[in-house]
Amino acid sequence: MPVNITEKQLNAWVAEAEDGYNVDALKKRGRGRPGRGPEASQVVTVRLTPEELESLDRIAAEKHLSRSEMMRQAITALTAAEGGGIRHQARHQ
């Protein structure tokens, strides 16, 4: 799909390239979602029945949480109850 670029935009890009880039600033920019902590998080797939998913979503909505945050809180509560507590860092929405 062709994109129309104005002469003004092209000149701005040329000037920016000629001035050089701050490589350190570019390296600091991360991709994807913001991290939840100093280490990378793992994505885990979980299979739920429609009823389980409906219950999860209902409770998450009542608490104004995302589905993922609700699951993290449930896992944290379970592991704390079992004596294997997890340090939980909530992500603000």
Tokens standing for residue 41: 């998080």
6 falls within a domain: no
pLDDT tens digit string along 24-34?
776 665 666 67
Tokens standing for residue 73: 């809180």
18 falls within a domain: no
10 falls within a domain: no
30 falls within a domain: no
52 falls within a domain: yes
73 falls within a domain: yes
d(CA 2, CA 21): 27
- Angle ∠(74,64,54) on CA atoms, nearest 5: 60
74 falls within a domain: yes
Which residue segment(s) compose the domain that 58 sits in?
47-85
pLDDT tens digit string along 68-83?
999 999 999 999 888 8
Residues 18/32, Cβ–Cβ less than 8 Å:
no
Number of structural domains the chain divides into: 1
